[in-house]
Structure 1
Amino acid sequence: MYHKIFIVYINQLIILYGEKLYLNDKNHILILNHKKIMNKRFLVFNDIQNNIDLYFKSKNLIIHTKKKLLLDFYKSFLKYNKYNMIFNKNYCISFNTLIYFWKKNKSESILQLHYLLSIVSIYSDIFIIGQNNIGINSTKKLCNPFVHLNKINYKKKCSLYYGIITKKSNFILQKHFKIYIWNNIIIQTLPGVFGYRGLDKGSLLLISTFHKNITGQVLDIGSGSGILSVILKKIAVNTEITLVDNNNIALLCSKNTLRYNNIIGTVLFSNIYSNINNKFDLIISNPPTHCGKKNNFNIIKHIIQNSVKYLKKNGILRIVIHSYISCHKELLKTFNNYTIIKQMNHFCVYQSILKKKN
């Protein structure tokens, strides 16, 4: 069930609340323990759920989230970046409580928690909440050197841990990087970034459509590790590449992959087209089709429907999509043309051209 979320600013007091309809396990546990959380200076790390059904009252609050509704709020804190994460040590001194939502990707949670435990003040409270089937119960051992965690509440599918930070971690970002080589190209990536486990079949299929005759300005939407742009630039040397992503960690990986391969390109934070102001000869993307475990085609639709605003005349949109998804309707409505230029391994590469009007 969808819940509206509101943010209200009242003399530096921020109240986050939603229409209370149905509770999910994670939010229900937080409500049961709301007295431990209320009126503290806290930050919330990771995606706020659309069906959040509790409110927080706090003198200070930061929310780290990629949800579109909170994107402007999220972006306002980017100036405090460190390692392209959202917080720095000086800014976090004022907070005494961390609420961390455990992620499905355990390696990403380890990276985030080690970083947060290096910057959040000693003797701060920490709450870690997550589903039991994605490794939340390993958090006690993970955090043991820095905080003694106790499970204070649980439901069938979800657990809540609480502790007090007694020691800061020695966070070294470089230890978390994964570096691998594909066709003499060095790829550097971090947990949670698309391409961390290597090149997927969709990316490989899209790469197979690159050729040396591609020229002009190219936009790579959802650049991840940056591998698509690097390979394209290696093949088509007469291109200027711009890489965008709405994940700061991905942008850091894209920058490193460009640098390791001696490739020049522009890397920007952008929620698809939100920070794009010029037009391109080619837009490429291997867009996500899931939000968690659920199918979500909104990103694909947004890329297609708005691409015409950012393409030059005779500019090309080229995207790779799983074959069970049809882009027929959206591409015809937007471009009045499309071709499937390659199909293999359950993926299709669609291409549409922004043709000149007579």
Structure 2
Amino acid sequence: MFEALTPVSEMLTRNLDILSRQPLLVCGLLEDNLPGLLAEAGPAPRVFTTDFRYFQWQQAQGLTDIEFGTSPGPSAAAGLLLLMPKAKAEAEYLLAACLPLLAAGAPVFIAGDNKGGVKSAPKLLAPYCGQVNKLDSARRASLYQAELTTLPAPFALADWISRYPLEEEQLQICALPGVFSAAHLDSGSRLLLKTISSLKGRVLDFGCGAGVIGASLLKRHPELTLECIDINALALEASRATLAENQLDAKVYASDGLKQVSGKFNHIITNPPFHAGLRTFYHTTETLLSSAADYLVPGGSLILVANAFLPYPELIEKSFGHCETLAATGKFRIYRARR
């Protein structure tokens, strides 16, 4: 999954002499073993990721200096390399979280796909750096370089939590930058919640995002035992905040697919992801559909919303022997399968 170098990293290999002069703090859209290349060229980097799957993979590769969470630990860093994430708001968040660890004059680099927002690097760095230079451009990717001149304020996660009301459910949703359903309830989740009727027992919210689905289910059925999982640390923190804001209780934890989940559920509910970075990515959902039955009690159900064009009914039928369409619009389908 992370084995091949991305075009961004291929471009960065042309600049290892500059990037490896000091042990950089590396964060953002990490999709390959760029940290290993930096370590081979100079002092090993310190890696911070909000992606639990990437964290697990790098640990398995033997990388020890890697942190998973909403922000890096407090120890000082010699410089920063930000791999441009999909959402500009997340880039702003990561800069605010990481730059306070640097001293004045420290190098700051931003790299990314030209179609992925990296051209906004000068504007992103303007509050912190006097001059931003474009260092390289190749493989439809660019690298920008600057020096930290304005020391930022200490990072406070609470400053980055946004809120919006979910009036149908009388809920307040909390979100963080880059998290799915961060600004409003998406139409797929809205259809899913409209379609789901009574639930009972132990329920898994797979890919919980900002906690919209889980909080709504708990509000309707307070007796549920709910678990919320995601690979994104910001999503997990947003879900915790949403639950706390609405005086609801659930177990929220990181899981790569269903790997960190134990026991069986009465229901698995999901609006599964099919984008990873700038790429369309079905692996997570395909793995879920093929293994979900093993995590359901007899008679338990998998209920999901998906874009109508996705070939999920065939995958569900292959695993469960059947697939029921509960609702459909021009864009979305709600599927259910029982064990």
TM-score normalised per structure 1: 0.83
Distance 2:324 2:2 in 1: 39
1:191 matched residue in structure 2 = 177
2:91 is the counterpart of 1:106: no
Which residue identity lines up with residue 206 of structure 1 in the other structure?
L
Q: Deviations over 1:261-300 (max 9, x none)?
A: 1111111111121211121100001011223444322121
Q: Indicate which of 190, 213, 218 corresponds to 1:228.
A: 213
2:244 matched residue in structure 1 = 259
Distance 1:335 1:348 in 2: 18
Return closer, same or farther for 1:163/1:344 CA change in 2, 3 Å cut-off.
same
Distance apart, 1:80 and its partner CA: 5.6
1:161 matched residue in structure 2 = 144
Q: Deviations over 1:212-256 (max 9, x none)?
A: x31100000110000101111111232111001111111110001
TM-score normalised per structure 2: 0.87
Return closer, same or farther for 1:225/1:166 CA change in 2, 3 Å cut-off.
same
Q: Deviations over 1:49-98 (max 9, x none)?
A: 459699222433233453846524369879966xx4241112xx2x3232
2:44 matched residue in structure 1 = 60
8 A contact 1:279–1:312 mirrored in 2: yes
2:335 is the counterpart of 1:350: yes
Distance 1:119 1:263 in 2: 35
Distance apart, 1:155 and its partner CA: 4.2
1:175 matched residue in structure 2 = 159
1:308 matched residue in structure 2 = 293
1:209 matched residue in structure 2 = 195
Runs of 4+ aligned structure 1 residues displaced above 6 Å come to 51-54, 75-79
Distance apart, 1:141 and its partner CA: 3.2
Deviates further, 249-258 or 127-136: 127-136
Return closer, same or farther for 1:206/1:74 CA change in 2, 3 Å cut-off.
farther
1:126 matched residue in structure 2 = 108
Q: How does 1:319-330 map to 2 (within 5 A)?
A: 319-330=304-315
Q: Indicate which of 210, 222, 225 corresponds to 1:237.
A: 222
8 A contact 1:115–1:169 mirrored in 2: no
Which residue identity lines up with residue 315 of structure 1 in the other structure?
G
Which residue identity lines up with residue 148 of structure 2 in the other structure?
I
Size of the alignment, in residue pairs?
330
